[in-house]
Structure 1
Amino acid sequence: MIDWETELARVGLFAGVLPRAIGSSAEARRGNPETGIPAAGFGPRLVGETAIDELFIAVSSVIREIPPMEQVEAWVARCGDVADEFARLDPSEVYRDPGAPRILSRDRKIFGTTAFEHIDYSTETRLPDSVANLDPHADGLASVRVMTRRRPGARWLIWVHGAAQGRADDLYAFRAAHLHKKLGYDVVFPVLPAHGPRRISKVAYPGFDPLVNTLITIRAIAEIRSLVSWIAAQDPADITIAGTSLGGPIAAMVASMDPRISSVLAVVPMLDMHATLAHHMARGGSKGRRLAELMRSDEVREVSKVISPLSVEPLPAPDRRMVVAALNDRVTWVSAAQRLHQHWGGRIHWYNGSHVGHAMSPGIRHATDGFLSEPVRPAGPAGENRRAVN
């Protein structure tokens, strides 16, 4: 049965793309002196970029499959059943070192003019016993794209993609050839669970099942830590991790758990996936508002704390932490990037544009290239400086 109110609300998102873009651009021009967010510029380019963000949100809303409300309510209630257990978990219990991956296959491939290796591997991920049966990727199989010269002493960069990515065209989106050939990095692009060739029918990530979202995130962090062990065996000079949007907090969590990471970069990070879903669903009529209420519930917040980078401290030195914040980010919000920066200290690059527009910004490319080009001391011995933040 079609929820006509929600369908009409979704269609209404398209009619409001330009008015919302103009309104939010005018608001971004004022900045927020109280929180320290600087004022953005104002003009056709910023409004145009912001309209792209709003159009992206509208299209995502229309194509997103929304489960029956009773199903989402049951998923949230399930969070309540395990909330106390999750609250007692220490990060060191959840994020145990999974060890090196078991390489299953390595294939040379070419996408356009970019040659890379596609590697399938398996790794062991320890999930809380009470919910391990909910893991849609319990087979432990994972994938990664790699560009390496196979030489010791190389600098390595892991880049974690955003939502709805994970395809081979990520190599273009994240400038793999430039990072490899110009900056000299051996580069690694993990495919997150439920993305790209790892998509599973009826499993969305992020989706409306908060517990599954949380378990998939824990798995993604373990898979990437396993790749760090594989890189460490190649005798690297240092290892940097970066993440964009959904990949931002995942990169942040890896950098807070693995002392072999020497630098961390979060670009327009989606700091809280459930709060982000709630914000966008609240526009979708009465059903959307109810979904937003569920995603903001205490039960969901309690379970989500275990995947929040605000609950842990990154291990790289403060000057090797950098956040890129888009001043008129309509997808994941500039306030999310600012909160991460306030927690980290370190550096922040304010971009006078939108979430989607960051990918086209020469200024961001210059800032991130500068950060990545700086010499870095290798990370310290295992376990050094690890601590959780209460």
Structure 2
Amino acid sequence: MLDRLRRIRSEGEKSALLLSDIPMGAMLRSVPRSVGFGVRSYVRSLRAERRNYPDMPTVFPTPGLVSAAFLDELVVAFMSTSRLSPGPEDALRIREEVAEALGKFRAETYLDDPALFHPEPPPLTDPVIRGKLYGTISYEQLAFDSGYVPWPGIPGATRWQSAGANQRVWAYVLRHPGKPRPWVVNLHGFGMGRPSDLAAFRSQRMHRELGVNVMHVVLPMHGPRKASRTQDAPFISFDYLGNVHGLGQAVWDTRRCIDWARSQGATKVAVHGLSLGAYVAALLAGVEDLDCVIVGVPSVDMAWVMSHHVPDDIKREVQAAGLLGTEAETIHHVVSPLAVTPRVPLERRFVYAGLADRMATPQQAYRLWKHWEEPSVCWYRGSHIGAMWNRQTRRFIDDALTSSGIGRRNTW
């Protein structure tokens, strides 16, 4: 299992993950947390009529499933110890920024209608396109200046804009020559954003067998958009305004990439997001007209993510600093998938989630599924890390695309 965890780096799911970076205490806590998951799953499987989520299937905790949950817990331990430990000065700054930003959001009615927080970006013109090679995969590298500028008066904007590498957007593209085709836009998970995503998402197979063009958009503060691999970017952390600016820019950049695909003759556009990318995809579905949206192992409540994954030994300090609770929920409302109404028709919304997911947890997917009026859903027996290697999810993604008229097997 440890070998599998190390392989995650090359397969793209968590390129920065090193076992030596996880404190021994955090690693040891992963064991009882995984066992606890197994016990709770066993109890739920025996008391199906008393479950909190009756529409979500139970799962019997086999040794393999508990091992997969343990792998998730190890990744959570790494992410928590490196990103969710704000110092006293940072905590004070964050509280002051949140209070100021909420005043701005209320004045501009962004909290009443979060779609107003996401203006339509200008068309993308003259991007730089270069032919590249990743292993045996030939692809095009698309690059352009983001042009994203936070709304005036929102705290943290200057700090966010100072990350120079983040102002350049990158995307990896697989295109067919000839007549216009549908496009699939893939949005990666946390820690990804490299050309290796093409292999992790099996995009070459999708490109070839379904006859679609495929684009991978690099999300803010990921891949080449980070100044260095050791830089701890203020995105998906207790730096709440960094989360808001980052998710706002993720939607902006992806919309510009979609606009470019349409300018290249895209007949239809589907967006598929994984983990962090699923959050962005679900938010995007509320502000952009898409032909299909697929979200995999999503978290849809950023305040919950912070509260759920903060290390136990500092949770009291974080609570005392006022970084958990109502204000944390409210500040993320303008970038919440649960606060916008999807513009994609019900029959072309799709959700998949792992019943042993210890990072996003299936309850997060359940909340989105309910908010989306119970569209087609795949509850697979597996963890968060294993989502892209699961045969059931791969079939579900293919079926979602073909049923939406996005791909046609062997007809191009």
TM range (shorter): 0.7 to 0.9
**Does 1:141 pair with 2:184?**
no
The 8 Å contact of residues 94 and 126 in structure 1, kept in 2 or not, is answered as: no
1:56 to 75, 78, 81: 75
SS of alignment partner, residue 38 of structure 1: coil
**Which amino acid in the other structure matches residue 268 of structure 1?**
V
The 8 Å contact of residues 115 and 334 in structure 2, kept in 1 or not, is answered as: no
1:211 to 231, 235, 241: 241
**Offset, 1:140:** 3.9
1:212 and 1:61 mapped to 2: Cα distance? 17
1:187 and 1:351 mapped to 2: Cα distance? 25
What is the CA deviation profile of residues 225-249 of structure 1, one whole-angstrom value per residue up to 9, with x for unaligned ones? 1111111112222100011111112
Unaligned 5+ segments in structure 2 are 1-21, 408-412
**Does 1:122 pair with 2:140?**
no
**Which amino acid in the other structure matches residue 158 of structure 2?**
N
1:289 and 1:325 mapped to 2: Cα distance? 31
**Does 1:77 pair with 2:96?**
yes
Name the counterpart of 1:22: 35
**Which amino acid in the other structure matches residue 90 of structure 2?**
Q
Name the counterpart of 2:105: 86
Name the counterpart of 2:368: 340
Name the counterpart of 1:222: 252
The 8 Å contact of residues 100 and 123 in structure 1, kept in 2 or not, is answered as: no
2:332 and 2:363 mapped to 1: Cα distance? 18
1:64 and 1:296 mapped to 2: Cα distance? 15
**Which amino acid in the other structure matches residue 14 of structure 1?**
M
Name the counterpart of 2:3: none
**Which amino acid in the other structure matches residue 129 of structure 2?**
R
**Which amino acid in the other structure matches residue 152 of structure 2?**
D
**Offset, 1:49:** 0.6
Range with greater deviation from structure 2 (14-23 or 333-342): 14-23
The 8 Å contact of residues 98 and 225 in structure 1, kept in 2 or not, is answered as: yes
**Offset, 1:76:** 2.4
**Does 1:166 pair with 2:193?**
yes
**Does 1:192 pair with 2:210?**
no
Aligned length: 367
**Does 1:232 pair with 2:228?**
no
1:295 and 1:182 mapped to 2: Cα distance? 48
SS of alignment partner, residue 386 of structure 2: helix
1:117 and 1:211 mapped to 2: Cα distance? 33
TM score, norm. by length of structure 1: 0.88
Identity %: 27
TM score, norm. by length of structure 2: 0.83
The 8 Å contact of residues 212 and 406 in structure 2, kept in 1 or not, is answered as: no
**Does 1:361 pair with 2:361?**
no
The 8 Å contact of residues 69 and 356 in structure 2, kept in 1 or not, is answered as: yes
Name the counterpart of 1:40: 59
**Does 1:370 pair with 2:402?**
no
Unaligned 5+ segments in structure 1 are 1-8, 379-390
Name the counterpart of 1:264: 293
**Which amino acid in the other structure matches residue 77 of structure 2?**
A
For residues 221-300 of structure 1, what are the structure 2 equivalents within 5 Å?
221-259=251-289, 261-283=290-312, 285=313, 287-291=314-318, 294-300=322-328
**Offset, 1:143:** 0.9
The 8 Å contact of residues 153 and 236 in structure 1, kept in 2 or not, is answered as: yes
The 8 Å contact of residues 355 and 381 in structure 2, kept in 1 or not, is answered as: yes
**Offset, 1:126:** 4.7
The 8 Å contact of residues 282 and 337 in structure 2, kept in 1 or not, is answered as: yes
Name the counterpart of 1:98: 121
Aligned residues: CA RMSD? 2.2
**Offset, 1:348:** 1.1
What is the CA deviation profile of residues 346-374 of structure 1, one whole-angstrom value per residue up to 9, with x for unaligned ones? 11110112111222211111111111122
Name the counterpart of 1:388: none
Name the counterpart of 1:107: 130
The 8 Å contact of residues 188 and 276 in structure 2, kept in 1 or not, is answered as: yes
| Pair 354,135 (structure 1): closer, same or farther in 2 beyond 3 Å | same
**Which amino acid in the other structure matches residue 22 of structure 1?**
V
What is the CA deviation profile of residues 298-346 of structure 1, one whole-angstrom value per residue up to 9, with x for unaligned ones? 2222110000011111111101101111112110111110000000021
The 8 Å contact of residues 84 and 237 in structure 2, kept in 1 or not, is answered as: no
